[in-house]
């Protein structure tokens, strides 16, 4: 609250923040102080699913002006390396990324960011929708990497926010049928609301039993599986479930070492692909939201003012609802 308002550099903009979603990774850093090799060593501002209003622009910024409402892409390359040259800037090893140590996030009143990674929101796209472009981008990137297309049969493992955006995007990209699994009945109900065709509440089935349930509901094995939990048993089920010659995309992050039936995947030519965040997705997401081709509004189940951030984080930690949204601008009461 008492930090000085930052001054934007020549290619930056200063934003008054509006909506910031809480991500599982924010909670993980808060609780455990690290994710893999990313370790919190100094105090760090959380938040990377965000939108706000431009209040000041740097001398070199021409595409934005004060008053513009923008969505923020949190990953900004620091140098033009080989990954940037090939359009895969998310893989740049020196990338700046909000709320990944040691980089501060944007859960604050005022925040400055590279102007090139702030995208103007059309009038019919709300600040909340703008903040949800970040998780939506994970779904866009994952479904593109998976090759979802007209008529695809898709299995999504895990019905948290990332599982749900993958359902939304897979259906948008032409999937004929999507089946989704989770432990929680309420999350599966939400998946139905956003367009899942079939749901499976997993209790204590073996991975092979889960795979066989997926096949019987779809009437065939899915060509594409999107794994959003990172849990070993779920990755195993993903391999067993995917049709020979199909693709399994690993989105969820779990333990570094996982035991999986790799020979089963190899002899059936199941491609296993990873994703790391996203790239080149904000313009696509904005176009989908503006044209009302995709509706992310049902994902937001809780809203808190910035002053109640701790309560918001506790709510997310308990796994209540789906997406918890923080409101950073006390003068604005619109979503």
pLDDT in tens, 220-268: 999 999 999 999 999 999 999 999 999 999 999 999 999 999 999 999 9
Please check the confidence at residue 333 and state whether its pLDDT lies above 90: no
Q: Looking at residue 331, what is its pLDDT?
A: 72
What 3-state DSSP class applies to 70?
A: strand
CATH number at residue 232: 3.40.50.720
Please check the confidence at residue 335 and state whether its pLDDT lies above 60: no
Same domain membership, residue 115 and residue 144:
no
Q: Could you tell me the pLDDT band of residue 330, with boundaries at 50, 70 and 90? A: confident
**Cα gap 77→314, rounded to integer Å:** 32
The CA-to-CA distance between both ends of the chain, in Å, stands at 22
Cis preceding linkage at 193, omega within 30: no
Q: What is the pTM of this model?
A: 0.96
What residue ranges in 59-105 does DSSP mark as E strands? 69-72, 75-76, 96-97
Q: What is the pLDDT of residues 255-297, one digit of tens each?
A: 999 999 999 999 999 999 999 999 999 999 999 999 999 999 9
Could you tell me if residue 256 is inside a domain? yes
**Cα gap 153→148, rounded to integer Å:** 8
**Cα gap 218→241, rounded to integer Å:** 11
Mean pLDDT for 18-31 is: 96
Q: What is the pLDDT of residues 139-168, one digit of tens each?
A: 999 999 999 999 999 999 999 999 999 999
**Cα gap 127→220, rounded to integer Å:** 40
Pair 213, 198: CB distance under 8 Å: no
Start-end of H helices in the chain: 24-32, 82-85, 127-146, 161-172, 185-193, 207-218, 232-241, 262-267, 282-290, 309-317
Could you tell me if residue 332 is inside a domain? no
**Torsion region of 91: left, alpha or beta (phi above 0 gives left; psi -120 to 50 gives alpha):** alpha
Please check the confidence at residue 1 and state whether its pLDDT lies above 70: no
Q: What is the pLDDT of residues 175-190, one digit of tens each?
A: 999 999 999 999 999 9
Could you tell me if residue 250 is inside a domain? yes
Same domain membership, residue 154 and residue 115:
no
Could you tell me if residue 283 is inside a domain? no
Mean pLDDT for 101-126 is: 97
Q: Which two tokens stand for residue 299?
A: 């994902």
Same domain membership, residue 192 and residue 143:
yes
Q: What is the pLDDT of residues 81-105, one digit of tens each?
A: 999 999 999 999 999 999 999 999 9
Same domain membership, residue 224 and residue 103:
no
Q: Looking at residue 78, what is its pLDDT?
A: 97
Strand partners, 118: 72
Same domain membership, residue 161 and residue 65:
no
Same domain membership, residue 319 and residue 269:
no
Q: What percent of the chain has pLDDT over 70?
A: 98
Same domain membership, residue 111 and residue 151:
no
Per the listing, tokens 């600040």 go with 127
CATH number at residue 39: 3.90.180.10
Could you tell me if residue 288 is inside a domain? no
Could you tell me if residue 128 is inside a domain? no
Q: Look at the chain and report how many structural domains it folds into.
A: 2
Range of the domain at 160: 139-274
Q: Which two tokens stand for residue 119?
A: 């995208």
Strand partners, 181: 157, 200
Average pLDDT, the chain: 96
Could you tell me if residue 173 is inside a domain? yes
Q: Which two tokens stand for residue 222?
A: 């899915």
Same domain membership, residue 268 and residue 144:
yes
Residue in 148, 157, 152 with CA at minimum distance from that of residue 187:
157
What 3-state DSSP class applies to 52?
A: strand
Same domain membership, residue 158 and residue 238:
yes
Mean pLDDT for 215-219 is: 98
Same domain membership, residue 263 and residue 172:
yes
Same domain membership, residue 75 and residue 38:
yes
Same domain membership, residue 156 and residue 106:
no
Q: Looking at residue 4, what is its pLDDT?
A: 86
């Amino acid at each position: 609250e008492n930090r000085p308002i930052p001054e934007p550099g020549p290619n930056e903009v200063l934003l008054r923040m509006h909506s910031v979603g809480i991500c599982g990774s924010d909670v993980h850093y808060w609780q455990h102080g690290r994710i893999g090799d990313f370790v919190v060593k100094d105090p760090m501002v959380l938040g990377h699913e965000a939108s706000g209003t431009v209040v000041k622009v740097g001398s070199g910024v021409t595409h934005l002006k004060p008053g513009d409402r923008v969505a923020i892409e949190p990953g900004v390359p620091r140098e033009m390396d080989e990954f940037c040259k090939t359009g895969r800037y998310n893989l740049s090893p020196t990338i700046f990324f909000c709320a990944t140590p040691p980089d501060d996030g944007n859960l604050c009143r005022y925040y400055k960011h590279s102007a090139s990674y702030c995208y103007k929101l059309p009038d019919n796209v709300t600040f909340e929708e703008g903040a949800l472009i970040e998780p939506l981008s994970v779904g866009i990137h994952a479904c593109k990497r998976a090759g979802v297309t007209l008529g695809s049969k898709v299995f999504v493992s895990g019905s948290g926010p990332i599982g749900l955006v993958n359902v939304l995007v897979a259906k948008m990209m032409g999937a004929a049928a999507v089946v989704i699994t989770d432990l929680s009945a309420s999350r599966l109900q939400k998946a139905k609301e956003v367009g899942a065709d079939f749901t499976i509440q997993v209790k204590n089935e073996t991975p092979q039993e889960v795979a066989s349930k997926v096949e019987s509901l779809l009437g065939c094995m899915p060509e594409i599986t999107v794994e959003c939990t990172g849990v070993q048993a779920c990755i195993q089920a993903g391999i067993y479930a995917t049709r020979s010659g199909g693709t399994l995309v690993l989105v969820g992050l779990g333990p570094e070492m996982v035991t999986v039936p790799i020979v089963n995947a190899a002899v059936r030519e199941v491609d296993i692909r990873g994703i790391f965040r996203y790239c080149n997705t904000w313009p696509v997401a904005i176009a989908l939201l503006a044209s009302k081709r995709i509706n992310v509004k049902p994902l937001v189940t809780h809203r808190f003012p910035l002053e109640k951030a701790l309560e918001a984080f506790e709510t997310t930690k308990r796994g209540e609802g789906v997406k918890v949204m923080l409101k950073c601008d006390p003068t604005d009461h619109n979503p």
